[in-house]
Amino acid sequence: MQKQFVTITIFLFLLTISLTGCTQPTSEKNKFVGTWITQVKTNPMDDSNYTDTVTFFANGSYETTSLGIGHIPGRWDLQNGKLLIDTYYPGTYQYSFSKNNTILTLTSVSGGDIETLTKQK
């Protein structure tokens, strides 16, 4: 009886240890997936305020809704720690997340322009 108890205890211990490796942290790409909205911007043509909407899809597609242009489709990916966007306005960005992954800050590698986006619920 005691031998069975020891065997079962060892089995449960090994099972517990092996299952702890099954939970994987959220992948970096999953942090991007969803709809984001830019900070309020001012239209230089008429001084009106507007925001852009950016949606990253899990399959690597991308869509932005921009003032006066409408929906712009494209593709996105992460390479070497940078966000690559291939669309009408292609670019490479350094990125950082804050506030529990609800704020995304993008910094253009080519021009240093900074864009802050807020994830929509």
Q: What is the CATH number of the domain that holds 103?
A: 2.40.128.270
Long-range interactions of 100-107: CB distance < 8 A, separation 24+ = 101/31, 104/31, 104/32, 104/36
pTM to 2 decimals? 0.71
Q: Which domain holds residue 114?
A: 26-119
pLDDT at site 61: 96
Residues of the chain with pLDDT under 70: 1-26, 68
Does residue 15 sit within a domain?
no
Tokens of 64: 């932005």
pLDDT at site 68: 64
How many angstroms separate the CA atoms of 108 and 87, rounded?
Answer: 15
Does residue 70 sit within a domain?
yes
How many angstroms separate the CA atoms of 86 and 99, rounded?
Answer: 27
pLDDT at site 4: 56
Does residue 16 sit within a domain?
no
Does residue 75 sit within a domain?
yes
Is residue 52 a contact partner of residue 64, using CB atoms and an 8 Å limit? Answer: yes
pLDDT at site 2: 59
Candidates 64, 46, 44, 45; CA nearest to 106 is 64
Does residue 13 sit within a domain?
no
Number of domains, the chain: 1
pLDDT at site 19: 43
pLDDT at site 1: 56
Does residue 55 sit within a domain?
yes
Does residue 3 sit within a domain?
no
pLDDT at site 29: 94
How many angstroms separate the CA atoms of 62 and 85, rounded?
Answer: 8
Q: How far is CA 85 from the centre of its chain?
A: 13
Tokens of 102: 């609800």
Contacts of residue 27, defined as CB under 8 A and 6 or more positions apart, other chains included, come to none
Does residue 97 sit within a domain?
yes
